[in-house]
Amino acid sequence: MPTAPTLPHGIWLPLITPFRDGTLDAASLRRLLRHYAAQPIDGLILGATTGEGLTLDDAELHRLVTIAANERATTTRRLPLGLGLSGSATEKLIKSLHRTAPLPIDLYLIACPYYTRPSQQGLRLHFTALAEAAAHPILIYNIPYRTGVNLGNEAMLHLAQHPNIVGLKDCCADAAQSFDLLRTRPPNFAILTGEDALFYTALTQGADGGILASAHVETAAFAAIRTHLLAGDQPSALAAWQSLADLPRLLFAEPSPAPIKHWLWRTGLIDSPELRLPMTQVSDALAARIDQQIAQMQPLVPA
């Protein structure tokens, strides 16, 4: 078990997984990795929800991480790499942790068990078992509107004492719960919001950063908001957020990551907006809205 891991902070990007003709698009993936390595982000999450991780088999997941690690080795920045895992059976997840232990990653992002809706005691025992088995630190992902179960603050604070549980991606959708956890968390426990539309609010209340799908676009603008707040310049942070706040609404107007993939395709960062079922590409109406927004910023790549 690692000792004194560096706590996640700042902007973490839950990277999309590019596909082409049904397979992992390695060329587009490398292009994305090089692009974001030059952006002011603090880490990457691979194979999570935005990365369509539930559609990847073990071989694809390993290839995804291997390509990312190889690209990282060619840059001067060693961006931390996180790997998204999820599941409803503790023992199956432990086997996944053992299979992925040799991978060159820095942490896991693990969602609460979905569909089964365990008790708070069950959640505590689940994550404690995972933390004991994991070769890398764990960031818990609490997103009850996807999983059907909310990890409450009492259980969360209990888990925060485990040395191999380093923080939380908070999507609990309860403002009071989020604020109370920020007030009562121990100093060695990081909280990053996963609600793109609430990024500014979370930072002003003390969050350490965000895991933001919208930061695929206008990455530097998202990072600047936190930079302004850390410098004590709240008016500049608010002005920056006011100019950016419509972007998450656009990129989540239809199920993610379809709008983000369309944007990245139209700006030439990936070669196809392809998704895997049950996810589908954006509607013609939303595609037109995204294209219009892109056209105001830079030339479109020919379709």
Residues taking part in catalysis: 141, 169
Task: Residue 241: count other Cβ atoms within 10 Å of its Cβ.
Answer: 20
Task: Residue 4: count other Cβ atoms within 10 Å of its Cβ.
Answer: 8
Angle CA(153)–CA(154)–CA(155) in degrees, nearest 5? 90
State the residue for tokens 């404690």. Answer: 128
Surface-to-core class of residue 288, CB atoms within 10 Å of its CB (0-12 exposed, 13-18 middle, 19+ buried): exposed
* φ/ψ of residue 139, rounded to 5: -110, 120
Can you tell me the distance from the alpha carbon of 115 to that of 146, in angstroms, rounded to the nearest whole number? 9
